[in-house]
Amino acid sequence: MYQMLCVLLATIAYGTATGHCQDSQAGITTVTFQSSTYNDMRQLLTHEAPTGTVTVKANLGFPEQARDRYPAVIVVHGLGGYRDSHEGYVAAELRKVGFATLTYDSFAARGTTGAALQGSSGYLMPGIADAYAALRLLSGEPRIDADRIAIIGFSYGGEVAHLTAFEPLRSALNPGSGRFAAHVAFYPGGNFGVFADASAYTGAPVLMLLAGKDENLPVTKIENYLAYARAAGAPAPIETVIYPGAYHAWTAPDLPSARFYPDLVSTKKCPLILLGRKGPALLIDSEAKPFDPAAFAACAAAAPGYSMGFDAAVRAQSITDTVRFLQRSLRP
């Protein structure tokens, strides 16, 4: 007879677990945690109180091999929301090599979709707030090593995985010393960076997996950002892997071979937005320039659409690259 364990975690500011029941046998269990809702990035960076709270339902999974405590990975979905065939598949691959995993759908928890939020200034906020609420949940789980919790994500989720490495966002959402131990961004949107200084990042390593044929995030855009940070004397803790023949969303099996989607919002022609406590700026010609909302909206409207396409071989290689990075970064 398996002993049932019910764990009730104390409430922590800005979101934590409400509780869960878990069989002591390895497997997947439904858990819930409390997170926050913000209208936009400014509200968070100025440390204003959240607009509201939300209960997020998640799946917590453990590897088959028994251990006292496991390293863990939070898997953040793309703009289409959580799918078993996509995020669920990658989570299962991670459990095979010894990582506990947590998956959830930030949009479904709020009764909306990524497509509905995409045009709003706060479309990334559900993902960022939920990521840190999920970190607190796992940090209080006795079978998880709180010092070895990573986050990975795809497209929208890849942007979240990168943004959660920004110290200004971490300190606003997770006061104290808690941080992710590693971040992996699969073909992120590439809309945001952070002002270059010694405290820009939390210090945890970041892996960006980029598609050589990604029209939505040209590789040169990331290269220019990394060059800007180096020139300022504050190199970003980012390593990149580029898959030359891949397109955006190469891990999504429900997509056909590469096809152009003209109705998708794209910022491929726009400068990268730099975030900081003093407000946003645009990275233009390797310098931070004043943020102009109208100009940014115009550049996005001028070049909509980008290609996406599944690639099984690149998916397999990118998962292998991710596992190697996580094993190295989360080593005890």
The answer on pLDDT for 277 being more than 90 is no
Sheet holding 206-211, edge to edge: 4-7, 17-23, 28-37, 52-61, 100-104, 70-76, 144-154, 182-186, 206-211, 238-243
Contact between 196 and 232 under an 8 Å Cβ cutoff? The reply is yes
Residue 282 in domain:
no
Q: Token pair for residue 248? A: 């955006």
d(CA 89, CA 238): 25
Residue 60 in domain:
yes
The pLDDT of residue 25 = 37
Residue 265 in domain:
no
The answer on pLDDT for 18 being more than 80 is no
Residue 44 in domain:
yes
The pLDDT of residue 115 = 84
Name the band, by pLDDT with cuts 50, 70 and 90, for residue 252. very high
Q: Is 13 helix (H, G, I), strand (E, B) or coil?
A: coil
Q: Token pair for residue 36? A: 């926050």
The answer on pLDDT for 1 being more than 50 is no
The pLDDT of residue 151 = 98
The pLDDT of residue 133 = 96
Q: Residue 208's domain spans which residues?
A: 4-256+311-329
Helix 156-163, helix 125-139: angle, nearest 10: 60
DSSP 264-280: S---TTSPEEEE-TT--
Total count of residues recorded for the chain: 332
Residues 6 or more apart whose Cβ sits within 8 Å of residue 157: 75, 76, 77, 78, 87, 127, 186
The closest of 169, 237, 230 to 205, measured between CA atoms, is 237
The answer on pLDDT for 17 being more than 50 is no
The pLDDT of residue 278 = 78
Our count of domains for the chain comes to 1
Find the mean pLDDT for residues 285-302. Answer: 91
Residue 232 half-sphere exposure, CB side, CA atoms within 13 Å? 20
d(CA 132, CA 119): 23
Find the mean pLDDT for residues 164-185. Answer: 93
The answer on pLDDT for 42 being more than 90 is no
Beta bridge partners of 318: none
Residue 289 in domain:
no
Prediction pTM value: 0.91
Residue 324 in domain:
yes
The pLDDT of residue 332 = 85
The pLDDT of residue 120 = 75
Name the band, by pLDDT with cuts 50, 70 and 90, for residue 105. very high
pLDDT, tens digit, 9 for 90 and up, residues 44-84: 888 899 999 999 999 999 999 999 999 999 999 999 999 99
The closest of 250, 258, 254 to 311, measured between CA atoms, is 250
Q: Is 129 helix (H, G, I), strand (E, B) or coil?
A: helix
Q: Which CATH number do you get for residue 126? A: 3.40.50.1820
The answer on pLDDT for 125 being more than 90 is yes
Residue 180 in domain:
yes
